[in-house]
Structures are given as C-alpha cells and as structure tokens.
Amino acid sequence: MTSSAPEQTPQAPLWNIANIFTMLRIVLVPFFIWFFVMDGDAWRWAAAGVFLLASATDKVDGYLARSLNLVTNFGKLADPIADKLLVSSALILLSLFGELSWIITGLLLLREVSITVLREVMRKREVVMPASKSGKLKTVLQMVFIGLLLVPWATILPADPAEWIRIAALVVAWAAVAVGVISGVLYFVAAARNMRAARQSAA
C-alpha cells in the first residue's frame, strides 16, 4: 500500500484581476489628490468621479478574490492599504479646505490607526479579528458622506437643495463617527476576551 503526499492548494498568481483592481485603487489616489486641489468645478467633478471609481474597485476586487479563489498574501496586505490611502486623503483634504470638521477627521483616523494596530497585535498572537457589522456600517457611512461632500452640487442644483445635501452629509459624517467609536470599543472588548481566553487555555 502506497501513501501519497497531501495535495497542496495552488496559490493564486500575484498578477491576477483582483490584485490589478487593488493596484488601480492605489494608483488613482494621487490623481484624486491632484484633481481635488485644482481650482474649478470641472476639477472637483473629476475628483468626485475618481473617488467613486476607486471606491467601486474596493467592492470589485474583494468579490473577484473570493469568487475566483484569487486571494493572495499581497492582496490581503495591499487591499486595506489602498482603502486607508483613499479615505485618509479624502478626509484630510476636505478638512484642509474647510469642508469637514477636523474633529470628525481626527476621530475617524484615530479609530483606523487604533484598529489597525490592534489587528496587527492580535495577528501576531494568531487571533483573527474579523470585521464586525458595525465596522462595515461605519465604512458605508464614511463612503456616503465623503461622496456627498465631494460632489459640487451647487453646479447642478439651486442653492438651498445643495446646502441641504451638505448638511445631510455632515449628519451622516457624525453618524459614521458614532458608529466608528462604538465598533472600535467592541473590537477592543473582543480582543481582551480573546487574550483572556488564550491565557486560560494555556494555563
């Protein structure tokens, strides 16, 4: 009777369609920044379009990676980096140009940094911290209010409706902060429980 070595699952190639979309998102970030800082409504429309296109690639690359089994270590690393580059640049630029409170930007960026550090610490302890529903909701709210603030509504709408949209975007922004803080606290609580359970099982 002969024994055979266990079959290894073939690794997806580095340059696959999912990773290409991820890299496209990173490449679009400098163009978004450039278009945003340029003066004129046409440039602002271009910045909004690039942001929405880059945001769409986030959904596309994740779907392709899962459905076509194209998950790679590079993709796992590059995807969150691309997300953070895009969102962070948008938040900082909106605040620099006086369109978004620095309090909102600061709290959202602090939350992202804290969760990133926490996940890295837990990863080294071989504990997976999956994204929570509240964390995903925060991401959706974040993309919505950034998109609403980026579009130059005054170029296509009367003054009052354009102002209503701006106010609605700021309401969504504060909602994103609230959900972000709550989800961040829940992440740390879950991490503490996991660490406590790991110590008890090791004892």
For the segment 77-85, the average pLDDT, to the nearest whole number, is 80
For the segment 12-28, the average pLDDT, to the nearest whole number, is 76
Q: What is the DSSP string of 13-27?
A: PSS-HHHHHHHHHHH
Integer angstrom CA distances of residue 80 from 12, 47, 77: 19, 21, 6
Higher pLDDT, 139 or 49: 49
For the segment 33-39, the average pLDDT, to the nearest whole number, is 95
Vertex 141, ends 140 and 147: CA angle to 5°? 90
For the segment 72-95, the average pLDDT, to the nearest whole number, is 83
Could you read off the pLDDT of 183-195 as tens digits, one per residue?
888 888 888 887 7
Is the pLDDT reported for residue 203 higher than 50? yes
Mean pLDDT of the chain: 83
Domain ranges for the chain, please list them.
14-98
For the segment 16-37, the average pLDDT, to the nearest whole number, is 87
pLDDT for position 95: 97
Is the pLDDT reported for residue 6 higher than 60? no
What share of the chain in percent tops pLDDT 70? 77
pLDDT for position 116: 82
Could you read off the pLDDT of 133-181 as tens digits, one per residue?
777 889 889 999 999 999 999 999 998 899 999 999 999 999 999 999 9
Higher pLDDT, 44 or 58: 44
Select from 120, 93, 114, 116 the least CA-distant residue to 105.
93
Is the pLDDT reported for residue 1 higher than 50? no
Could you read off the pLDDT of 96-143 as tens digits, one per residue?
999 999 999 999 999 989 888 887 777 777 666 666 777 788 988 999
